[in-house]
Structure 1
Amino acid sequence: MKADRNQAVKHKGVSYAKWGYIFLIPFFVTYLIFSFVPLISTFYNSFFENYMSGLKHIGPNFVGFENFKTIFNGDLLKYISNTIIIWLMGFIPQIIFSLLLAVWFTDLRLRLKATGFFKTIIYMPNLIMAAAFSMLFYALFSDRGPINNILMNIGFLKEEFRFMTSVWATRGLISGMNFLMWFGNTTIILMSGIMGIDTSLFESAAIDGANSLKIFTKITIPTIRPILIFVFITSMIGGIQMFDIPQILTNGKGTPNRSTMTLIMFLNNHLFSKNYGLAGALSVILFVVTSILSIAVFATMTKGITKKKGGK
């Protein structure tokens, strides 16, 4: 009897596993067609000379690592620094503001009303297209736009300030738009992590005399550390892939003086000029850099967690 039952359970387990693999087939087929094959194709094309010269098509001719040398001998480091600076200018205030809002919204002692309404409001900018956001900011901060008019009317400025010709003003506008678009999404993610913490931990800490700052630093932050790792890595990848906002705001030129030219804008220039070899080489570099940074960030931020588990 017992043997028959074990055999039935085993048969059912094999059946479940089979259906699990069947349901995974669409994902793997989609990944194979739209991700894996293009990835291999990009690596392949990065070793070939393949571009348009007027109406004449040159290549594809195998050139080895010449495309990579050309990329590194150019202004790649400048575009990397631009991307990092703009990302950090948006991410640092974003994570601080999102953490504060997440803690505020999830604090049961405050008994806040209409939290659902405020959550919806802060998330709404994430639903707006980046192109619309860029055009809005371009109109607001243009030389004769509303912002300049307001600042001049209140006496803060004597003459129009040309935001689009100032390096840090343009970078500030781009990072500000990224902040406005994504802080709501980050707040919701952090809230989900904080709401998963056992409330008895907060109550015990409060009874022991811990103040709000100590509870935040000793309980909240360590507990939601995996969520913070996820937010940091996804934001970093998003920062490396920054394109639409600076592309539209600066008309694809990275003005002033290419100080807002990001890596993907640089890649898009090669695609626009149909220099597929250099575009492939730059794509491979971006892939490698993103992978290394993601692994390094993950290893660094999970180091303490791994040690604690090992100690147990």
Structure 2
Amino acid sequence: MRRKGVNYSRFGYIFTFPFVLAFLIFSLYPILYTAFIGFTDLQGLIPKPLHILDNPFQNFKDLLFDNPSFRKSLINTGLLWIVNFVPQIVLALLLTAWFTNQRLKIKGQGIFKVLLYMPNIITAGTIAVLFSTLFAYPMSPVNSFFEMMGWSDAPINFLQDKTIARGIVAFIQFWMWYGNTMIILIAGVMGINPALFESAAIDGANGIQTFFRITLPSLRTILLFTLITSMVGGLTMFDIPQLFLAGGPDDSTLTTSMFIYGQAFKGSYLYNRAAAASMIMFVISAVLSAFVFYLMRDRDAAKLKKIEKMHRKSAKSNQGGVTHGQ
């Protein structure tokens, strides 16, 4: 008698069930419920029946056109992300090229990597206290240093200057995350076929040529991942601006996440407006992510697929013509 084979595929469904269940309960349902709240009049701490507004998009309209604080938070969020991400990715790429250069053979790479990554594992609260102390007014290490160097005759209130405050927040974000970006890029370089670098060396390519002609193109997927995760993280920036300056001075470091938190859990508890703002940020994140995916697509592969599609259509039309002729 032939023995019946065992179907192991069902075990895959069993193992994935806890994740799917957790995702449905703790991710998908809150997202859908938040989207629904954005179209209602849900406000205040006292529970009351939900009513969809006569104009379902009224909350969204009020935020985009009648709420200067929300528009300011959008601008602040974009500025803070751009100012910290551009130097972050540049420095991370330079460090990656330095650490992975086989010609340099840097000793003690592990120690350097740990030291550069360390700011990422320090809690946001600790960093906020650290920089608050560094730039405190009137007495602080930075003010003392400025006076010692003769750059200032009187203490400077750094944290009350909008530009300086934004710059410090952006620097903190850069300082915390460039090490993480560097580690990801180094991991990506280690996954590149070493034969490519050996061939480049045999052909006489220098370090710069190798980096731009081999390393960067091979890191397309890793760079895409880094850009998307950094962008989403930047758009949801909350901890450092909140703990360091609480959005000040004069809302110059107010981010969209802080605005949403303030609308939902402070003052009049405008849950509907907070939900609408969350959905606006969700749409912005989705659109920007799609744009980045399109921008960093493999153009050669796309062209090849297009040519193959045209060939298939041509072959099908020719086959149809032959059949019709018969």
Q: Same fold (TM over 0.5)?
A: yes
Whether the 8 Å CA contact 1:242–1:262 is kept in 2: the answer is: yes
- Distance in 2 (alpha carbons) for counterparts of 1:58 and 1:169: 45
Residue in structure 1 matching 2:18, options 26, 32, 51: 26
Larger radius of gyration: 2
Residue in structure 2 matching 1:175, options 154, 170, 173: 170
Verify: 1:62 aligned to 2:64, yes or no. no
Whether the 8 Å CA contact 1:84–1:240 is kept in 2: the answer is: yes
Shift, 1:62, TM fit: 2.3
Unpaired stretches in structure 2, ≥5 consecutive residues: 309-326
- Distance in 2 (alpha carbons) for counterparts of 1:140 and 1:281: 38
Alignment of structure 1 residues 36-185 onto 2, 5 Å = 36-52=28-44, 60-63=50-53, 64-72=56-64, 73-75=66-68, 76-143=70-137, 144-185=139-180
Whether the 8 Å CA contact 1:130–1:244 is kept in 2: the answer is: yes
Q: Which moved more, 1:110-119 or 1:214-223?
A: 110-119
Which AA in structure 2 matches 1:19?
F
Shift, 1:124, TM fit: 1.3
1:174-228 Cα offsets, whole Å, 9 max, x none, are 1111111111111110001111112221222222222211111111100011100
Whether the 8 Å CA contact 1:89–1:175 is kept in 2: the answer is: yes
Q: Which moved more, 1:20-29 or 1:295-304?
A: 295-304
**Change beyond 3 A, Cα 1:150–1:307:** same
Q: Which moved more, 1:57-66 or 1:203-212?
A: 57-66
Q: Which SS does the other structure have where 1:60 is aligned?
A: coil
Give the structure with the larger strand fraction: 1
Shift, 1:61, TM fit: 3.1
Which AA in structure 2 matches 1:262?
T
- Distance in 2 (alpha carbons) for counterparts of 1:60 and 1:145: 51
Q: 2:251 is matched with which residue?
A: 258
Which AA in structure 2 matches 1:261?
L
1:213-244 Cα offsets, whole Å, 9 max, x none, are 11111111000111000000000000000011
Which AA in structure 1 matches 2:276?
A
Which AA in structure 2 matches 1:142?
A
Which AA in structure 2 matches 1:138?
S
Which AA in structure 2 matches 1:60?
L
**Change beyond 3 A, Cα 1:305–1:182:** farther
Shift, 1:304, TM fit: 2.0
Residue in structure 2 matching 1:221, options 213, 216, 219: 216
- Distance in 2 (alpha carbons) for counterparts of 1:66 and 1:57: 21
- Distance in 2 (alpha carbons) for counterparts of 1:177 and 1:162: 18
- Distance in 1 (alpha carbons) for counterparts of 2:202 and 2:32: 58
Q: Which SS does the other structure have where 2:50 is aligned?
A: strand
Whether the 8 Å CA contact 1:233–1:294 is kept in 2: the answer is: yes
Shift, 1:59, TM fit: 5.9
- Distance in 1 (alpha carbons) for counterparts of 2:277 and 2:190: 41
**Change beyond 3 A, Cα 1:156–1:299:** same
Question: Which TM-score applies when normalising by structure 2?
Answer: 0.87
Shift, 1:303, TM fit: 4.4
Q: Count residues with an aligned counterpart.
A: 300
Q: 1:190 is matched with which residue?
A: 185
Which AA in structure 1 matches 2:290?
I
Unpaired stretches in structure 1, ≥5 consecutive residues: none
Q: Which moved more, 1:227-236 or 1:17-26?
A: 17-26
Which AA in structure 2 matches 1:212?
G
**Change beyond 3 A, Cα 1:29–1:57:** closer
Verify: 1:240 aligned to 2:232, yes or no. no
Which AA in structure 2 matches 1:260?
T
Question: Which TM-score applies when normalising by structure 1?
Answer: 0.90
Taking only the aligned residue pairs, the percentage that are identical comes to: 40
Which AA in structure 1 matches 2:254?
M
